[in-house]
Each structure stands twice: as structure tokens, then as C-alpha cells.
Structure 1
């Protein structure tokens, strides 16, 4: 789910125009969500190491 989401964001970013605008509008929110999930994943990874 998370991977597909990030792929969607990057593919949106490749196209100029409305898609790019939408990407920048959602950029901050996506960054926040990604950093939150990244911290959660870091904890999960620590468990396995």
C-alpha cells in the first residue's frame, strides 16, 4: 500500500501541468505522512536487526 502510494506520487511528478500542481499541493501532507511511516518502519526494522 505504502509503496504503491509513493509510486503514484513520483509518477504524478513526472508530468507537468495539473498533475504536477496537484503533486505540489499534496507535497507537504505526503511528506508528513511519509516521515511518520518512516519512523514507524525504523522501529520495526530495529526489531529484526
Structure 2
């Protein structure tokens, strides 16, 4: 299995994210869905920027 290490600093933002994800039953599915969502967002943003 491949792994990607993610570190969380002790900032309010990082601790909020860590706490939220850590409480989920399916952590890896949540992270994968979040990454897919962000990639789609970046692709749409790129299309919009190219039209401008």
C-alpha cells in the first residue's frame, strides 16, 4: 500500500482539521474525496483563468 504522510502543526486550523478527520470512521475515503474535490476545483479554476 502506498502512503502519503501529512503532518499537522499545532495551529487552530490544523488541529480543527486533524480532529475532524480523526473522528471519522473512514478517514482515507474522506481524504481521497477531499483531494478529488480539490483537483476538480483547480481544473475549473484553470479553465476560468484561461478564458480571461
Q: Is the helix fraction higher in 1 or 2? A: 1
The normalised TM-score by structure 2 is 0.49
Q: Where does the alignment leave 5 or more consecutive residues of structure 1 unmatched?
A: 1-8
In structure 2, what is the equivalent of residue 36 of structure 1?
40
The structure showing larger relative contact order (alpha-carbon pairs under 8 Å, at least 6 residues apart) is 1
The normalised TM-score by structure 1 is 0.51
Query: Which residue of 1, 11, 17 corresponds with 1:12?
Result: 17
Larger Rg: 1 or 2? 2
Q: Where does the alignment leave 5 or more consecutive residues of structure 2 unmatched?
A: 1-12
Q: How many pairs does the alignment contain?
A: 35
